Copies of this chain bind each other. A is one copy, B any other.
């Protein structure tokens, strides 16, 4: 506590600006827990309350929140509305974000209809599909436009986020076009690895990977526990 300049530098740099990635990934969960509390009329919540609702332990939640600042009151807890606003602001949800969805198959349609986007400041500016015949179809109040309009739409509305729900083979090409047009963040649902220029953020959601991870753990639970009946023979394909 005497003086440790270099080590402090790091801590202060983090506190000042820049929140650990793992914490950022949990903030939306806390936000949801706060919204739920707010809807139930709760105005103050302890770290223990929120941690239970968010499915984490209270020490982690407090440390996470401490990166944002000291928004709690010792002996009392956190003001729900105030904390909700602070997290929203930190995540950038107090402003609107223009989004395009490319590839309107089953998943693209599901996303277009998903209410959770618009309520958090994500504005779907267009749905785009490679099939020109589908131009004009509507989902969730949004209209399908043709792929050739991509650059115009991104440019005109300042779209910064692109969602890719195309087949795997088309994903890289779409990503390239999105980035060239000005998109700087991509959410990729296509089962393919896409590579982009430095400075462009890509997040990947892969449905079948999640199931495969579950299968691994399921297998490890032991054949005895796994099935309802465990036939002594070979498993039937």
Query: Which A residues are closer than 8 A to B by beta carbons?
Result: 17-19, 24-25, 27-29, 31-33, 53-55, 90-97, 99, 105-107, 109-111, 113-114, 116-117, 120-122, 155, 157-158, 160-161, 163, 182, 184-187, 191, 193, 195, 199, 201, 203, 205-221, 225-229, 235-237
Chain B positions within 8 Å of A111 at CB level? 207
8 A-B pairs whose Cβ atoms sit less than 8 Å apart in the complex: A25-B209, A27-B216, A28-B206, A28-B209, A31-B212, A105-B110, A184-B225, A203-B210
Q: What are the residues of chain B within 8 A of A195 when measuring CB–CB?
A: 55
Closest-CB distance, A88 to chain B (whole angstroms) = 9
Q: Which of A53, A105, A122, A227 has the most CB of B within 10 A?
A: A227
The 9 A-B pairs of least Cβ separation, nearest first, read A92-B219, A158-B228, A106-B110, A116-B208, A55-B193, A28-B212, A28-B209, A185-B214, A92-B215
Chain B residue, CB-CB nearest to A89: B235
Bound-complex Cα distance A117 to B114 (A): 23
This chain: copies in complex:
2
Per a CB cutoff under 8 Å, which of B24, B211, B229 touches A187? Answer: B211
* Chain B residues within an 8 Å CB radius of A207: 111, 114, 116, 205
Contact of A106 among B96, B114, B211, B221 (CB under 8 A): B114
- A216 and B120 form a contact (CB under 8 A): no
Shortest CB distance A58–B (Å): 15
Q: Among the listed B106, B205, B210, B215, which residue makes an inter-chain contact with A91, where contact means beta carbons less than 8 Å apart?
A: B215
- Within 8 Å by CB of A109, from B27, B32, B99, B106, lies B106
